[in-house]
Structure 1
Amino acid sequence: MRVKHFTVDYLLQYLQFIFTGHIKGEILIDLSIGPMIHHLYAACEFFKHIIVLKASDRCIMELKRWLDMRTGAFHWGHATQIHVDTEEHRDQLQDKEEKMRSAVQHVIKCDFEKENIIEPLDLPPADCIISAGLLEVISKDHDDCKRYLRKFSRLLKPGGHLILMASLNATYFKVGKDTFHVLRYDDDFARKALVGEGFVIDCCKVKETKVVSELNDYKGIILIAAHKK
């Protein structure tokens, strides 16, 4: 029996809904926090090529370990399971894992401080960018957040989609004994920031949480699908 996780389950259900609706294409770029990839299980059904950008060498190492099926790689079976109906469909679980590995063709180092975050590389403009839990962690203030959105936008083709998933009104999260800064913002700021950077919002959902945890203090999550003018 799988224990449901509020954030993971909701994000994956939302992505399945969004992609099934109208967002699909050749190239998807992932710009998300840490080495997590669970949100990409939905994307691999609708995009032929997934490019993952990471600023951390450690994250790149962990993802490549998973891609190469090395010993000690993190097991993402709990994410795969969300996309199949029952425990009996083990063949579907394996197929989903293989499809995911086939779709993730590149894991590339990036530098968020550069105007062109993938410099010196040159990638074709993406049909879609997913950013999950990243902006609020790398941004020092609201202006910083807008600048990063601008940089992300440069990787998209005109009419391409940005799917933003972020925590709301958070100030920190903990990993082990370490505490990390999170930029606090609400759903109104997120919407206005996207519009200000030339995006048209297609769908926006806010999900509040009453879960209390010592690991973070977020009050909810926002899920936005928008397209570049």
Structure 2
Amino acid sequence: MDSTSYKLYHVHGWDSRQHLEDYFSDKPNMVFEEDALKFPMENLTKTFSEGHIRGDILIDLTVGSLVHHFYAACEFFQHIIVLKVSDRCIMELKRWLDTRTGAFHWGHATKLHGEIQGSSDQFQNKEEKMRSAIPHVVKFNIEKENMTDPIVLPPADCIISAWLLDVICKDENDYRRYLRKFSGLLKPGGQLMIIGLLDTTYITVGKDKIHVLKYNEDFVRKALVGEGFVIDNCVVQKRTNVSDLIDYKAIMFIAAHKEK
């Protein structure tokens, strides 16, 4: 398949449940546990446990219907406002929020968080705490001046964006432009945490191949500085698995704060 025929995540959408099953489940042949589950959870837990990042509002701008990045965040923020580009992603996430029959099972991620944190908290209590921290799931349009129009969001203390910029950006100019929009959602001094894939061109979800912007660590660093962020930490891990579902070479976690 020629890369020009790859679908665009925010235009064409994808099968949210298939994405979870292929990249985030606990099935025996799921090879992405180290990169997709453990790496982001370890880095977010470490960053939040340092104690200087906390507040009232965290905005989540993350691909698909993921929740495992909330395990650490829900300890430090009163409210997590989740923004999604499609109704399908919202529907899948709300199945878990409302504990409906058939919701995706995140028990393996709950257990993993406990191991990372060294905590003996009961798993069920942890998931309930996460659910109670998420008062709103809001559909947004990245191209609108106010992405959540007609809703006006309060300025956030922190934003987490996992893998979203990878799949909504057609080129590097898009990446910088969307970073600017993310910055507009933050308070001065607010924290931005990005999880992304390096040197990637596609991700496969079901029968669809989705476009991914190819970039490297240096580009992201320069883009953040160019939009008024100070980089506090950056961790890059080489790919640990073999699969033709996706062609990334490394995964990156970067934490930065918006200059006042």
State the TM-score, normalizing by the size of structure 2.
0.84
- Checking the alignment, whether the CA contact within 8 Å between 2:114 and 2:121 is kept in structure 1 is no
Matched, 1:221 2:221: no
Partner amino acid for 2:192? L
Q: CA deviation at 1:134?
A: 0.5
Question: 1:31-89 CA deviation, whole Å, 9 max, x = no partner?
Answer: 00001111111111111100000010001111111111111111111111112249xx9
- Checking the alignment, whether the CA contact within 8 Å between 2:229 and 2:257 is kept in structure 1 is yes
Q: CA deviation at 1:115?
A: 1.9
Q: Which of these residues, 189, 192, 200, is aligned with residue 159 of structure 1?
A: 189
1:73 — aligned with what? 103
| Structure-1 separation of matches of 2:206 and 2:48 | 35
Matched, 1:6 2:34: yes
Moved over 6 A (4+): none
| Structure-1 separation of matches of 2:39 and 2:252 | 11
1:113 — aligned with what? 143
5+ long unaligned stretches in structure 1? none
Change (3 A) 1:85 1:188: closer
| Structure-2 separation of matches of 1:44 and 1:62 | 20
5+ long unaligned stretches in structure 2? 1-25
State the TM-score, normalizing by the size of structure 1.
0.95
Q: CA deviation at 1:210?
A: 4.5
2:158 — aligned with what? 128
Larger CA deviation: 186-195 vs 118-127:
118-127
Partner SS for 2:243: coil
| Structure-1 separation of matches of 2:115 and 2:216 | 35
Partner SS for 2:41: helix
1:49 — aligned with what? 79
CA RMSD of aligned residues (A): 1.7
Matched, 1:35 2:65: yes
Q: CA deviation at 1:145?
A: 0.6
1:15 — aligned with what? 44
Q: Greater relative contact order (Cα 8 A, min sep 6): structure 1 or 2?
A: 2
Question: 1:148-176 CA deviation, whole Å, 9 max, x = no partner?
Answer: 00011110000000000000000001011
Question: 1:85-109 CA deviation, whole Å, 9 max, x = no partner?
Answer: 49xx986101101100000111001
Question: Between the two proteins, what is the percent identity of the paired residues?
Answer: 62
Larger CA deviation: 207-216 vs 178-187:
207-216
